[in-house]
Structure 1
Amino acid sequence: MRFIFLFTGLALVFGIGWLVSSDRKNIKFKKMGIMFALQLVISFLCLNTTGGIQVLSSISSFFSWLMEQAAGGINFVFGGLVIQKGASVFFLNVLMPIVFISALVGILNYIKVLPFIIKWTGWALNKVARMGELESYFAISTAILGQPEVFLTVKDEIPKLNAKRLYTICASAMSAVSAAVLAAYMELVPGKFVVTAVFLNILSALIVSCIVNPYDVGPEDEITRDELTGEAAKEPFFQVLGNYILQGFKLAVTVAAMLIGFVALVTFLNSTFTAVLHISFTQILGYIFSPIAFLMGVPVSDITEVGSLMATKLLTNEFVAMGDLHQLASQLTPKGNAIISSYLVSFANFSVVGIITGSIKSISEKQSVSVAKFSMKLLLGATLASILTGTIVGLYF
């Protein structure tokens, strides 16, 4: 039965991707097959082997430890405002640690640890998938650095890209999440699903691009690894550290503002719909998205709740949906929990389309016009990538 739902989930992704494909005759089946096989290997090792489970547990424990270290700075600044154990203040306990994690990312970037990992992991991915040096490098970069910062790592190349290559890197940016927010996610959903989804999403975005946006990278279009990782002017250490800390704080405040607005809006809509139609807005969304959840392998008893969470993420953001899931988790089956937890780990929502368009515009006005033209296809592709990731994770539950 699990394999039947793996097939239906894949058929859903491929069918929708085929309908909106820019070149149906040249869909890259071989590249897709290689990357899908790699996803099966990764997910099997992560979720179905003792060693993989222990590694994921260690990673989750490490991020939990980082959250504890972040509490030192939070306690110093906010003092008695920090709620005692057993209660929670979302902004302090979940969002504020992003500042500390961002500082660590800055340090690792400054001492060339992250550039080394990105460079050679991207090289290995390109050797396996043959997606192109730029696409492979960027897919790994965005899973570590996040956006909009990740676009700055390829700012010299963006003006030179054709629309198809530009689509692929933007889809990767929407399908991945930054290392700075992983600890925050792990406060809301199980860490093993967060880490597994990060790995799978890198490949899911590229697989969907092979359907929606197929192309070949010729020798004349190829960008060498040395060009992508060339030395940049090095700023003083404490200036870099300060910049990353401020970026982390701005991110935390931005997420908090969006949560206040979106959660209040959803609450308003739920109250209004319940008063007028005797059914909440989120329940209506749940029924609309429930067929998709069913085809992904979500048990029938969970499809309405999971469908509602899928819609909430698309219309608001992943933090809002994860907050709702945190409250609902005990009511869902283990399989339903696994699929929706993995699905939510990405930036695929309407607001991020604007962020990406703005990021590209700051680098190239001309290219931002191209992004604006395919923005809805970009959101659809990133959502399909999340569906693919959730479907694969569901295979093991």
Structure 2
Amino acid sequence: MDRFIGLAGIVIILGVAYLLSHNRKAINDRVVGMGLLLQVLLAVFILKTGVGKAIFGWLGMAVTKVLSFSDEGAKFVFGILADNVKLGSYLGPENGFIFFFKIIPTIIFVACLVNIFYHIGLMQWIVEVLAKGLNYVMKVSGAEALSNISSAFVGQVEAQIMIKPYLRGMTMSELMASMTGSFACIAGGVMATYILFGVKAEYLIAASIMAAPGALAIAKIMWPETEESETQGVVKLKVGKQHSNIVDAISAGCSDGLKVGLNVLAMLVGFLALIALINYILGAAGGLAGHPEFGLNSILGGLFSGFAFVMGVPWHEASQAGALMGTKLVANEFVAYLQLKPIIEGHLLSEKTLAILSFALCGFANFGSVGIQIGGISALEPSRRADLAKLGFRALIAGTLASYMSATLAGLLF
């Protein structure tokens, strides 16, 4: 029965994409089919084969180990406040984790590492090699292949910087694919944060890798290519060095990481306070009808529980899972993963549901990100602002569906 539900989930996700297609007659079956096949093969390799499990298990441990080095800098600056073990021995284990003193240093450290990799050319090489592979298998254009692969490593706007020279001449379908890829993936810096929340690193790495072909497949259903691409068969990065030397790259990375970290903190304070206010109002209204427990989670859980169920979440857990999925879309993935943290620590949901949610929440697809992408990409190429605005919410839906597809495959193979 579980297998049947998962297969039905895949059909429903593809059906939603098809119903929302801009031009159903123009859908290229080969491009879509190869994208979905690649996503399935990646899922099977990562989640079912001994080699895949070993590789991604090792990657997960390696990433976690590298991230742990940020603690050394944090402890030097903040002392015991950055040591959750020692702090927990005084205040209790549940109070040992102080968000500011653990998350900000991690984001700064990851931003620093990414800048080093860019300066020495390692990141560009990895992105270009993977993009060439994606271009060869799916026969998509160079620009959209580069953008989608970049999205698995950097932020949603930073990924578009990789293809800045091509933005003016990109087709509407290419723009749609690039935006969808950015909505379906998360950046390395924030991925590090979710690992600290208790989400398995191998799930997050797998989700970002699987999202690239999945996002392209869904995007090509919802906005098929009907124009001539300028970069068909061309995969070449045109990103020069941004820093004078490696010390400059490290310094800039630390500054960028601090900006991102402070932005994350401000966003969390605002969103969590707003959610608390909404829950208070809804609870007061529900109390009049004898249901004081009524809140935003009740509404979002009801709206998204059906999606959670067809993705493989057991029905008795679907409402709670759906609430997190809805929070991710309405607020953002950071708030959703933060709400998932105590659930992981308390073992309040099954391992299968936690695996599905790890994939489903992995992506920048939320209402606020629509504005970020339109504003950020149009700053790179102002002539495309109207096109970006036209595609924004359609790409948001496509990115969400791509993440749900990865989550459904994870549920099928769990």
Instruction: Give the C-alpha shift of residue 290 in structure 1.
Output: 0.8
Q: Distance in 2 between matches of 1:270 and 1:146?
A: 31
8 Å contact from structure 2 (residues 170, 230) kept in 1: no
Partner of 2:361: 344
Q: Distance in 2 between matches of 1:295 and 1:83?
A: 41
Which deviates more, 372-381 or 117-126?
Answer: 372-381
8 Å contact from structure 2 (residues 112, 253) kept in 1: yes
Instruction: Give the C-alpha shift of residue 222 in structure 1.
Output: 2.9
Instruction: Give the C-alpha shift of residue 234 in structure 1.
Output: 5.9
Give the RMSD, CA atoms, in angstroms: 1.8
Query: Matched residues, percent identical?
Result: 29
Picking from 304, 312, 315, the partner of 1:297 is 312
Partner of 1:328: 343
Instruction: Give the C-alpha shift of residue 300 in structure 1.
Output: 0.4
Structure 1 unaligned spans of 5+:
none
8 Å contact from structure 2 (residues 134, 145) kept in 1: yes
Q: 2:272 matched to 1:255? A: no
Q: Deviations over 1:361-387 (max 9, x none)?
A: 211222122111221112111111111
Q: Distance in 1 between matches of 2:231 and 2:156?
A: 24
Q: 2:397 matched to 1:394? A: no
Flag the 1:219–1:359 CA change in 2: closer, same or farther, 3 A.
closer
Instruction: Give the C-alpha shift of residue 138 in structure 1.
Output: 1.3
Q: Deviations over 1:152-180 (max 9, x none)?
A: 22212112223221111111111111122
Q: Distance in 2 between matches of 1:232 and 1:88?
A: 38
Instruction: Give the C-alpha shift of residue 94 in structure 1.
Output: 2.8
Q: 2:207 matched to 1:197? A: yes
Look up the SS of the partner of 2:69 in the other structure.
Answer: helix
Q: 2:63 matched to 1:68? A: no
Q: How does 1:238-253 map to 2 (within 5 A)?
A: 238-253=247-262
Instruction: Give the C-alpha shift of residue 122 in structure 1.
Output: 0.5
Partner of 2:141: 132
Partner of 1:53: 53
Normalising to structure 1: TM-score of the pair? Answer: 0.95
Partner of 1:143: 152
Flag the 1:219–1:250 CA change in 2: closer, same or farther, 3 A.
closer
Partner of 2:177: 168
8 Å contact from structure 1 (residues 138, 172) kept in 2: yes
Normalising to structure 2: TM-score of the pair? Answer: 0.91
Read off the aligned partner of 1:78 and give its amino acid letter. F
Read off the aligned partner of 2:70 and give its amino acid letter. A
8 Å contact from structure 1 (residues 134, 223) kept in 2: no
Partner of 2:2: 2
Runs of 4+ in structure 1 displaced over 6 angstroms? none
Which deviates more, 3-12 or 382-391?
Answer: 3-12
Q: Deviations over 1:208-251 (max 9, x none)?
A: 1121011167465537223x346557633322222222111111
Picking from 288, 310, 313, the partner of 2:303 is 288
Flag the 1:275–1:155 CA change in 2: closer, same or farther, 3 A.
same
Partner of 1:43: 43
Look up the SS of the partner of 1:395 in the other structure.
Answer: helix
Instruction: Give the C-alpha shift of residue 193 in structure 1.
Output: 1.4
Read off the aligned partner of 2:371 and give its amino acid letter. G
Q: Deviations over 1:20-42 (max 9, x none)?
A: 21110122222222222222221
Q: Deviations over 1:254-296 (max 9, x none)?
A: 1111111111111221222112212122112101111111121
Q: 2:171 matched to 1:154? A: no
Aligned pair count reads: 396
8 Å contact from structure 2 (residues 243, 249) kept in 1: no
8 Å contact from structure 2 (residues 184, 403) kept in 1: yes
Partner of 1:32: 32
